[in-house]
A and B are shown apart, each in its own frame.
Chain A
Amino acid sequence: MLMKIWPKETSLKFMNLRMAGTLFSVLLLTASIFFLGTRGLNFGVDFAGGTAMELNATETVNESTVRAAIPFSADVNAAVGTDARRIVVVKFGEAPEALLGPEFQALSPEEKAEQASGATNELVVRSLVETLGVNPGTDILKNDTVGPKVSKELFRDGITALVVALILMLAYIWYRFEWQFSIGAVAALAHDVIITLGVFAFLQLEFNLTTIAALLTIIGYSMNDTVVVFDRVREERRKYKKMPDRDVIDLALNSTLSRTLLTSGTTLLALLAIFFLGGPVLRGMSFALIWGIVIGTYSSIFIASSIVLSLGMDLTQKTVDDTPGFQGV
């Protein structure tokens, strides 16, 4: 039904908009780098260390009583949690050493550095239990404390994962297409990742482990999109040997356009459901994915394809079969 409304053939001149697209991307990239430099990313406990705690809000447990109960200054906010539950979110790093008791003060400096977050967490839980009668088993919905050692490792592992993924995909595209395509695809991916990071910096959204997972998924999705376009470009290039590169790419983009919009549409629908109904834990992740799909779709058209157009195609080298080894599946 929907497809009846959709024109049978579109012939939009995407490549005519190439300069405008490039300009737009350069602007976005500059802004992203600016915000990353000035505001920086708002790291969650996974990467920054410290504690993030969620308390079940009741008559006695609310923003002001919790703030009063904690013997040092912590970041306390009322919020709406998963499944519309009213909660109090508490974030803190390390308490002043004087509050942490003689046992902690007897530790070596090295142990102090590692144990301070944990000891602070114990102090806060004890204060909440003693002054507000909080039951640690049921009223503390969530209590995450990450020490400096692990937070550094998690950050390093996250960055490693991103870089390794980019390199492997570059290699895969190189193997399946030509180098021009592989450069176009990876430039598009880097574009998507940097701009997504820029949005996280601009909006000061929490950047944590699940955000890294989301970034990798964006990379996968954007690559997926780019590959679909590239496959078509290669096919049309072979079909119309005399046609200029610019028209071949426009033809490929037009013939994959309905697919691109449909797939992005269904994926966006699914993600919007997570964003609105999946609770705060998934909100950052689904936001990154929604943003990533929009920017990924855009970049496969305006970045990946226009880079291939600038670099030129040389299909004489790999004019063999489309699907080496995949025939007869």
Chain B
Amino acid sequence: MLQFPLWKVILIVLTLAWGVVMALPNVVNMSGAPGFMPKEGVNLGLDLRGGVYLEMEIRAEDVIGGRLEVFARDVRTALARTDSADPVPHLAEVNGQTMTIKLTRADEAGNFPVAETIARIDKVNGPLEGGLAGGKTYEVTRAGPDSILVSVPENSENLMMMDALSKTETIVRRRVDPDGVAEIAITPSGTSRLVLEAPGEPDPERLKSLLSRDGRMTFNIVDDSPSAITAAQAGVVKPGYRLISGPTTGPLLVRSIPEIVGSDIATASQGNDEANRPQINFRLNSNGARKFFETTRANTNKRFAIVLDDVIMSAPNINEPIAGGNVRITGDFTMDEAQDLAAIISAGEMPAKLQFLDQRTVSATLGRDSINAGIRASVIGILLVAGFMILAYNLLGIFAVASLAANVILIFGALSGLGATLTLPGIAGIILTIGMAVDANVLVFERIREEQQSGRSLLTAVQAGYERALSTILDANITTLIAAAILYLLGSGPVKGFAATLGIGILTSVFTAFVVTRWLTVVWIKTFKTKQLSV
């Protein structure tokens, strides 16, 4: 307990130095520091910097209802007249998470061709994107002499919700942060929720109206002639055209009336071309496919702008007329870009209306007030504790206060280094930890006092004090650590921030009290050959 070989000393000093380096950006502007130094201080929570927290949900019945509406159109195509089969007249009705198809014409014997119709529907009932090859998306069963029930099995439902949630997330992000510069966090939570955290955003109503809007997706023919663009940029836009732009394409002149609209698109996904470069595959529904074929035939070698909410996503060249409604966009995409574009094209409009479950706004003013109050409470709390310790334990108290200072630095270093978020309850957690951090010191000092009273020499008393207090310190802190861990796992927002600082604080306070204070004490005793410490 009293031996500090060089490697231990180096380890202690390195740990403390790490804490100082990591904590430094919280007090000093580090923008001019060399590259290896951290530049960012601790993240402040929304309650301290002001901002908007929104929890949103998409409902399963909306998502699945929407998918069934699309499937109803596939069913209509599948049951239409073909070269080899007669049409099957029917009425399809989506009801919550199921669809009922009622056959309207019986044969001469009065029977409805239910089995035959199910077989024809199953031909268009392929696997979901992301699902097992050869699997079926829907469960199509006989529900009566003239009716068929289309339901969604659980694994399809899960895939649909996952898909819908990731699309909603993409749309939400594009909507609240079109330039990709704002510091807005959007995190999926569970299978149907999104949490949006926008620091500094003063108006939650603006965010909500932005998010409750429908997404508009169009395909427009581009007029590429340089003279028309120049004229348009000078303010003379060709009649029937609009000048819009996009981040990758720059300004382009497009026809005002779109050729394809969002409702013409069935699905889109990322795939690979012959050279294994990422591309975007998408499928138009029958109506869209017909329009697409006609448009591409009439406009070969022009560019087709894919426009989302008046921003050009991409403007690929039409190389040849395209039939069948299966379209691909090749280009200089990375895998991620292709996936994102596919998600955006695919989503087009929000898959389901967003429901707002929980909204919390803190103004920047209140955030500043809270920081001020938090700092004042911390400084006074620390001074009170420090004064009390020195009064109670004299020299050992000073060592304890030194290790308390090291503790505060390590807590801030760890919070900054781990990218944890500091909230107002988190500040309370730090103050509480400081109050409790002295506990380990007190346990040891009391033991030292007892040992000295029973007549042992100072060094033996110190040795015995630390040895005997160890198991108590560990037991006591592990129990608090359990509470902090559970709070972190089950808590949300500010409470998580409290748990993080409490947990980190417990670890650093055990280290500083048990290692740093002991080291200081031993160095002092050995240097000054102290025989008696008043405790």
A141 and B366: CB pair below 8 A?
yes
B491 and A209: CB pair below 8 A?
yes
* 6 tightest Cβ-Cβ pairs between the two chains A and B: A137-B202, A267-B435, A270-B435, A273-B381, A220-B483, A83-B369
Residues 249-284 of chain A, each 1 if its beta carbon lies under 8 Å from chain B, else 0: 000000110110011011111111110111101100
Contacts of A286 in B (CB 8 A): 428
Interface residues of A, Cβ cutoff 8 Å to B: 1-4, 8, 54, 56, 81-83, 85, 111, 114-115, 118, 121-122, 125, 136-138, 140-147, 149-150, 154, 157-158, 160-161, 164-165, 168-169, 172-173, 176, 209-210, 212-213, 216-217, 219-221, 223-225, 227-228, 231-232, 235, 255-256, 258-259, 262-263, 265-274, 276-279, 281-282, 285-286, 289, 322-323, 326, 329
B13 at the interface (CB under 8 A from A): no
Contacts of B179 in A (CB 8 A): none
B249 at the interface (CB under 8 A from A): no
Contacts of A273 in B (CB 8 A): 377-378, 380-381, 384, 431
Minimal Cβ-Cβ distance residue in B for A8: B453
Interface residues of B, Cβ cutoff 8 Å to A: 47, 55, 57, 202-205, 208, 355-366, 368-370, 372-374, 376-378, 380-382, 384-385, 388-389, 391-394, 424-425, 427-428, 431-432, 434-436, 438-439, 442-443, 446, 449-450, 453, 468, 470-472, 474-480, 482-484, 486-487, 490-495, 498-499, 502, 534-535
B202 and A2: CB pair below 8 A?
no
Give bound CA distance, A138 to B369, whole Å.
13
Contacts of B499 in A (CB 8 A): 213
B384 and A144: CB pair below 8 A?
no
Minimal Cβ-Cβ distance residue in A for B444: A259
Give bound CA distance, A165 to B502, whole Å.
15
Contacts of A83 in B (CB 8 A): 368-370, 372-373
A56 and B365: CB pair below 8 A?
yes
A144 and B480: CB pair below 8 A?
no
Contacts of A176 in B (CB 8 A): 475
Q: Measured between C-beta atoms, what is the minimum distance from B420 to chain A in Å? A: 16
Give bound CA distance, A216 to B429, whole Å.
12
Q: Measured between C-beta atoms, what is the minimum distance from A321 to chain B in Å? A: 9
Contacts of A265 in B (CB 8 A): 388
A269 and B388: CB pair below 8 A?
yes
B436 and A263: CB pair below 8 A?
yes
A160 and B475: CB pair below 8 A?
no
A269 and B480: CB pair below 8 A?
no
Residue of A115, A217, A223, A276 near B432 (CB, 8 A) is A217
Residue of A82, A262, A270, A322 near B442 (CB, 8 A) is A262
Contacts of B389 in A (CB 8 A): 266
Contacts of B443 in A (CB 8 A): 228, 259
Q: Measured between C-beta atoms, what is the minimum distance from A253 to chain B in Å? A: 13
Given A2-B391, A213-B499, A227-B475, verify A157-B490 contact (CB < 8 Å).
yes
**Interface of B (DSSP majority class):** helix
Give bound CA distance, A288 to B363, whole Å.
27
| 20 pairs of residues in contact across A and B, judged by CB atoms under 8 Å | A82-B366, A142-B361, A142-B363, A209-B492, A212-B491, A216-B483, A221-B436, A221-B480, A223-B483, A228-B443, A232-B472, A262-B438, A266-B388, A269-B381, A269-B388, A273-B384, A278-B424, A278-B428, A282-B424, A329-B470
Contacts of B438 in A (CB 8 A): 262-263, 266
Q: Measured between C-beta atoms, what is the minimum distance from A124 to chain B in Å? A: 11
B361 and A150: CB pair below 8 A?
no
Given A141-B363, A269-B385, A281-B424, verify A161-B356 contact (CB < 8 Å).
no
Contacts of B477 in A (CB 8 A): 224
A143 and B360: CB pair below 8 A?
yes
B475 and A255: CB pair below 8 A?
no
A326 and B471: CB pair below 8 A?
yes
B205 and A270: CB pair below 8 A?
no
Q: A224-B476, A231-B475, A269-B384 are in contact. List 4 more A-B contacts (CB 8 A).
A: A85-B369, A270-B381, A277-B373, A279-B370
**Interface of A (DSSP majority class):** helix
Q: Measured between C-beta atoms, what is the minimum distance from A13 to chain B in Å? A: 20
Minimal Cβ-Cβ distance residue in A for B497: A213
Residue of B357, B366, B468, B480 near A114 (CB, 8 A) is B357
A150 and B357: CB pair below 8 A?
yes
B486 and A165: CB pair below 8 A?
yes
Given A145-B359, A224-B479, verify A282-B492 contact (CB < 8 Å).
no
Q: Measured between C-beta atoms, what is the minimum distance from A147 to chain B in Å? A: 5
Given A144-B359, A144-B360, A269-B385, verify A82-B486 contact (CB < 8 Å).
no
Contacts of A143 in B (CB 8 A): 204, 359-361
Q: Measured between C-beta atoms, what is the minimum distance from A80 to chain B in Å? A: 11
Q: Measured between C-beta atoms, what is the minimum distance from B452 to chain A in Å? A: 11
Give bound CA distance, A141 to B146, whole Å.
61
Contacts of B360 in A (CB 8 A): 143-145
A160 and B490: CB pair below 8 A?
yes
Q: Measured between C-beta atoms, what is the minimum distance from A216 to chain B in Å? A: 5
A270 and B366: CB pair below 8 A?
no
Give bound CA distance, A242 to B361, whole Å.
64
Residue of A4, A210, A255, A262 near B494 (CB, 8 A) is A210
A282 and B428: CB pair below 8 A?
yes
A136 and B205: CB pair below 8 A?
yes
Contacts of A219 in B (CB 8 A): 483
A141 and B432: CB pair below 8 A?
no
Q: Measured between C-beta atoms, what is the minimum distance from A269 to chain B in Å? A: 4
Given A2-B391, A146-B358, A266-B388, verify A137-B490 contact (CB < 8 Å).
no
Contacts of B434 in A (CB 8 A): 270
A322 and B471: CB pair below 8 A?
yes
A168 and B486: CB pair below 8 A?
yes
B495 and A212: CB pair below 8 A?
yes
Residue of B361, B442, B474 near A140 (CB, 8 A) is B361
Given A168-B486, A289-B432, verify A1-B392 contact (CB < 8 Å).
yes
A161 and B380: CB pair below 8 A?
no
Given A137-B363, A150-B55, A262-B442, verify A285-B425 contact (CB < 8 Å).
yes
